[in-house]
A and B are shown apart, each in its own frame.
Chain A
Amino acid sequence: MPAILTVAGVSKTYDSGTTALSPIDLEIEKGEIFALLGPNGAGKTTLISIICGIVTPSGGTIDVMGHDAIKDFRAARRLVGLVPQELSVDMFETVLATVKFSRRLFGRSGHDAYIEQVLRDLSLWDKRHAKIMELSGGMKRRVLIAKALAHEPDILFLDEPTAGVDVSLRRDMWKLIHRLRTRGVTIILTTHYIEEAEEMADRVGVIDKGKLVLVERKTELMKRLGKREVLVSLREPLRAVPAALANWDVELADEGHSLRHSFVADGDRDGIPALLAKLRELDIDFTDLETHRSSLEDIFVDLVGRKDAA
């Protein structure tokens, strides 16, 4: 896959001396969904803001389809759309007016059919004459997406698209992002929800304390890092782990009232049914089970810990 966006040695140190980003190298492939994962304050938004021209980098270069983002900013920026994290939009404008404004601002002449299509895709067409202040939070976010798409960008940045969004809206957002990709838009999103990266991304970059810790295909990352745990509540407490389970990664918990089993969710072999079958075979009765997936925090502790040890 050819790179559509190349970030080379981009760093940011603020005047106060704080280093927000250590030199970062990153290549985004055409047509992919790339998730930038990291805790709050890791530098995700700073990186996106630099690529989009909102923050001036302290060093490094950015190339968007052969155009340098600073020297040839007009050509580069026309290819990029940005959906910010905050709901920053003119409250007194109507939906249609603000989307048309965005298109013109990016140097394109009116194209009503395209704008109608974008608004319909985002279920905003019926609300096109509504003032933005009258819309719900989820609607406002969709208006921001419509604005970012108004000039037909090749690359779309979504900064925390589902932060503070309820579950059903989050699902809608995921579907929408998949649809955009089908149309050939390359998507880069930031998130601190691992489920989101898992649901959508082709590749994942993990950023922590301004450093890009790793970039990997999601499937490989999950295989490596997606540790899961199942906690089985037992009808009768056990004194020790049965010998038949010695080869399993199983331990007693809750003073023998439950069994904890950790496994790596790689899709090839699901640990839960196998464990349950084994328990039945051993005549161990259970009343309940609870599964837990390693959180992003766990993964970070893991990653950072390993880096420090190395």
Chain B
Amino acid sequence: MTGFNAHGVWAIYRFEMARALRTLWQSVATPVITTSLYFVVFGGAIGSRMQSVDGVGYGSFIVPGLIMLSLLTQSISNASIGIYFPKFTGTIYELLSAPVSAMEMVLGYVGAAATKSVILGLIILATAMLFVDLPIKHPLMMLAFLVLTSIAFSLFGFIIGVWAKGFEQLNFVPALLITPLTFLGGAFYSIDMLPPVWRTVSLFNPVVYLVSGFRWSFFGQGDVGVGASLAFTFAFLLACLGVIAWIFKTGYRMKE
């Protein structure tokens, strides 16, 4: 087995990016509009009556959580549809018969999904800056969290896309798992505001670590230590890679 198929990876990557351009409206405009609505409601209407959280104005406080919310749902839906669609239409025959290794396939699909998520995160960030004053204390760490989370959740989305047997299952995980976890994961509040019991329960919510780490990169403080956040992000990424390796080894729902 010799020779990395760079042309193949590039072909998949470009195909996926082109798909996003064709559906530019859904890919970019929808999340931007949704985020703006959150600002109007939470930042403007409610936020003006709220005290600052940890010395940060409420409007600014919710920005990292909002970006995370979009990042998680969009990474999952982009990557899952990317691999699910060929399975659904039957065009996967070509991928499976091509000299493309499992790793290269993941690189193409997940790379494209993660790229889209990072771009989306930056667009939402720019949108947010129009509404509120936003300091970024650790810009490099901010980017690192953005990129790592996008990759990790695109990998997760890829797994869902392979697992899903129908379109309703594609929406199942983002709608029933990710959105509640994000809302309960301190996207709109600090878990310090919760009663002690719920604070402890929250520590079992993985999204708390993602939001906290990301918020730390903006304001220099989070609900949990930045080390714990980074460790969790990496652990999740590795776990997804492990599952994907298993999928390709066994051919699970890809090959008969």
Contacts from A to B (Cβ < 8 Å): 14, 49, 52-56, 71-78, 80, 82, 84, 86, 88-92, 97, 101-102, 104-109, 147
Contacts and interface: CB of A to CB of B under 8 A. Distances in A.
Given A77-B98, A84-B90, 4 more contacts: A56-B251, A88-B91, A107-B98, A147-B94
B246 interface: no
Contact of B90 (A72, A76, A86): A86
26 contacts: A52-B93, A52-B96, A54-B93, A54-B96, A54-B255, A56-B251, A71-B1, A72-B1, A73-B1, A73-B99, A74-B5, A77-B97, A77-B98, A77-B99, A80-B97, A88-B89, A88-B91, A90-B89, A90-B91, A104-B8, A105-B95, A105-B100, A106-B7, A106-B8, A107-B7, A107-B98
Interface in B93-116: 93-101
Nearest to A89: B91
Nearest to B95: A105
Contacts of A78: 99
Nearest to A14: B256
A245 to B, nearest CB: 56
A105 B96 contact: no
Nearest to A20: B256
Interface string B1-19: 1110111101110110011
Contacts of A53: 96-97
Nearest to A159: B93
B22 interface: yes
A48 to B, nearest CB: 10
A102 B94 contact: yes
Interface in B117-170: none
A225 B97 CA distance: 36
Interface in B13-70: 14-15, 18-19, 22
A154 B93 CA distance: 19
A105 B12 CA distance: 7
Interface of B: 1-3, 5-8, 10-12, 14-15, 18-19, 22, 89-91, 93-101, 251, 255-256
A88 B89 CA distance: 6
Given A77-B99, A105-B12, A82 B5 contact: no
Contacts of B18: 97
Of A78, A82, A104, most B-chain CB atoms within 10 Å: A104
A78 B5 CA distance: 11
A303 to B, nearest CB: 28
A181 B12 CA distance: 31
Nearest to B6: A107
A162 B95 CA distance: 23
A72 B10 CA distance: 22
A108 B7 contact: yes
Given A55-B255, A74-B3, A77-B99, A104 B93 contact: no
B217 to A, nearest CB: 37
Given A104-B8, A105-B8, A108-B7, A74 B99 contact: yes
A88 B90 contact: yes
A71 B18 CA distance: 33
Of B15, B19, B90, B256, most A-chain CB atoms within 10 Å: B256
Contacts of B101: 74
A74 B97 contact: no
Of B7, B15, B97, most A-chain CB atoms within 10 Å: B97
A77 B96 CA distance: 10
B7 A74 contact: no
A101 B99 contact: no
B251 A104 contact: no
Contacts of A109: 7
Nearest to B22: A92
A52 B99 CA distance: 10
B210 to A, nearest CB: 34
A276 B41 CA distance: 94
B94 A107 contact: no
Given A55-B255, A72-B1, A90-B91, A101 B97 contact: no
Contacts of B15: 101
Contacts of A104: 7-8, 10-11
Contact of B8 (A75, A82, A84, A107): A107
Nearest to B108: A105
A278 B18 CA distance: 72
A107 B256 contact: no
Contacts of B99: 73-78, 106-107
